[in-house]
Amino acid sequence: MKKILYLILALCYCLLFGEFFVRLFSPAPLLPRYVTAAPYGIRINVPHAHYWQTTPEVQVQLRINSQGIRSDLEYTYDKPKDQCRILLLGDSFFMGYEVDLTDSFAYLLEQKLNAEGVPCQVINLAVSGYGTAEMLIALEQEGLKYQPDLVIFQWHITDPDDNVRSALFRIKDGELVRLHSTYLPAVKLSDWLSQFTLYRWLIENCQLYAALRETAAARIKSFLASLRKRQGEAAISKTTAAESPNLPQATEYALRLSTRLLQEAKRISNAHQAQFCVLEIPDRLGRTKFRSHITEFFTPQLRQELQILTPLPMFEATSSPALKLYYEKGHFHLTPEGNRLLTEYFGSELKKAGWLNH
């Protein structure tokens, strides 16, 4: 009995030491993610979830409505009269991680359009961790029910890998085909754990837990990515590899898959009388250095066809050593300033394109 007591005490000491260590030497952002399984086999935000995100730079509350949307409002499927609707599909950037709701891209865009006399609802179906494959399924299964006039897919450098890893789709004989019916990584486990108050307290307050989970997840993610890439390599046709000789084969396959997913999303959107575009979140290299991958990844014809937009020139022109467009001690999401700039850029592109003119 005494030995067991000592063991428990030692374990508690080790954990306390670890928490102290992380807070002192390697502060970990606390960015809990409450997701659960949607009936259509992918993740959605847990309805009615209210939780805090804390990083060394910011503390924000995330409030999810009954439809799994980060919003304080509820939306009907039927579009209100004399209003247009924009549907956002993306990951944590579009969902507005690390910023208040009022500083998120969805909220700012809606405010901007309404202020400019274009009454519009922006419905944000973004879920942290989504890749293009999940966005496409969410669009088909849920998004189109909202009768959008414009569908915006977020694009980020992580998407090609995410699309291969999720294995929801693959390219077979040049065609996009559904591979697995579900992609719910660790969702069952997190659903079960989330029942416990202690677990919820841990993920919102314990930096040691956050740091260890992140380290483990990064290692598993890179391991899975390497496995899936190898599988993907087999599916690449020699012709495609010859078209883009500068890219590694696995990246080439991932990009080809991503392109097909975007093309499919555009086809479905257009078939439902909605315009379609892709908005890139540039990669952050430094406070004043950013990188866009779209010119590297997509041909000019594809960029034209899919309406791929990047705010890179505006980010570069506006950035300065004193201005943070991305957070630097969390998960490098856009700051309120970054979201504002993105909104400004997209608003001007929207006007130029005239997608909502009708």
Partner 1 sequence: MLFNSYIFAIFFALFLPLYVLLRHRLQAQNLLILIASYIFYGWWDERFLILIMISTVTDFVTALGLVNQKPSLRQGLGLTAFLLLGATLLSLRTWDQTAWTLIPLFIFVAGGWFLHRYLMTLEDHTRRKAFIFVTIITNLGLLGFFKYFNFFIDSFQQSAALLGWQVDAVTLNIVLPVGISFYTFQTMSYTIDVYRGQFQPTRNFIEFSAFLVFFPQLVAGPIERASHLLPQFQRLRVLQWDAIRTGTWLCIWGLYKKIVIADNLAPLANRIFTDPSAASSGELIAAILAFTFQIYCDFSGYSDMARGLSRMLGFDIMVNFNLPYIARTPTEFWRRWHISLSTWLRDYLYISLGGNRYSALLTYRNLMITMLLGGLWHGAAWNYVLWGAYQGFILVLYRLFHIDTWIAQRQSSLVVQRLQDLALIAIMFILICLGWLLFRAPSLQVIGTFIAGMNSLEYVPQLTTVAFYIWPLLTYQALQLWRGNLEPLTQVPWFLRFNVQLFVVYSLLLLASKGGQQFIYFNF
Least CB distance to partner 1 at residue 123 (A): 37
Distance CA 158, CA 236 (A): 20
Q: Which two tokens stand for residue 108?
A: 């700012």
Under a CB-based contact definition with an 8 Å cutoff, are residues 99 and 60 in contact?
yes
SS3 182: coil
Rounded to a whole number of angstroms, the minimum distance from the CB of residue 222 to partner 1 is 9
End-to-end CA distance of the chain: 77
User: Looking at 6, 7, 8, 21, which residue binds partner 1 (CB under 8 A)?
Assistant: 21
Select from 18-26, 83-91, 276-284, 302-310 the region that touches partner 1 (CB under 8 A): 18-26
Q: Is 26 in the site for partner 1 (CB under 8 A)?
A: yes
Q: Is residue 17 close enough to count as binding partner 1 by CB under 8 A?
A: yes
H or E stretch covering 166: helix 159-166
Task: State yes or no: residue 18 binds partner 1 (CB under 8 A).
Answer: yes
Q: What is the DSSP letter of 185?
A: T
Indicate whether 151 belongs to the interface with partner 1 (CB under 8 A).
no
Question: What dihedral do alpha carbons 47, 180, 135, 258 form, nearest 10°?
Answer: 160
**Rounded least distance, CB 251 to partner 1, Å:** 18
Our finding on whether 218 is near partner 1 (CB under 8 A) is yes
Q: Report the nearest approach of partner 1 to the CB of residue 17 (Å).
A: 5
For residue 202, how far is the Cα from the chain centroid? 24
We find the least distance from the C-beta atom of residue 207 to partner 1, in angstroms, to be: 10
* Binds partner 1 by CB under 8 A, chosen from 152, 211, 306, 309: 211
- Give the Cα separation of 56 and 248 in Å (integer): 37
Contact between 226 and partner 1 (CB under 8 A)?
no
Rounded to the nearest whole angstrom, what is the least distance from the CB of residue 157 to partner 1 in the complex? 16
Q: What letter would DSSP give residue 320?
A: B
**Which amino acid belongs to residue 145?**
K
- Rounded to whole angstroms, the Cα distance separating 120 from 216 reads 42
What minimum distance in Å lies between the beta carbon of 162 and partner 1?
19
Q: Return the closest-CA partner of residue 248 out of 220, 264, 225, 265.
A: 225
Per CB under 8 A, 64 contacts partner 1: no
Q: Are 56 and 329 in contact (CB under 8 A)?
A: yes
Nearest to 97 by CA among 311, 337, 334: 334
Assess contact for 356 and 325: CB atoms under 8 A: no
Task: Find out whether 256 and 171 touch, Cβ atoms under 8 Å.
Answer: yes
- State yes or no: residue 129 binds partner 1 (CB under 8 A): no
Q: Which residue, 61 or 215, is less far from partner 1 as judged by CB?
A: 215
Nearer to partner 1, 25 or 173 (CB): 25
Tell me if 177 contacts partner 1 by CB under 8 A. Answer: no
To partner 1, the closest distance from the beta carbon of 322 in angstroms equals 16
Applying CB under 8 A, which of residues 22, 87, 254, 306 lies at the interface with partner 1? 22
If the CB atoms of residues 79 and 213 are measured against partner 1, the closer one turns out to be: 213
Beta bridge partners of 175: 172
Task: Check binding of 139 to partner 1 (CB under 8 A).
Answer: no
**Rounded-to-integer distance, Cα 38 and Cα 97, Å:** 21
Stretch that binds partner 1, among 53-61, 77-85, 210-218, 319-327 (CB under 8 A): 210-218
- Judged by CB under 8 A, which of 212, 235, 241, 302 binds partner 1? 212
- Between residues 21 and 52, which has the closer beta carbon with respect to partner 1? 21
The angle subtended at Cα 54 by Cα 58 and Cα 332, nearest 5°, is: 65
Interface with partner 1 (CB under 8 A): 14, 17-18, 21-22, 25-26, 211-212, 215, 218
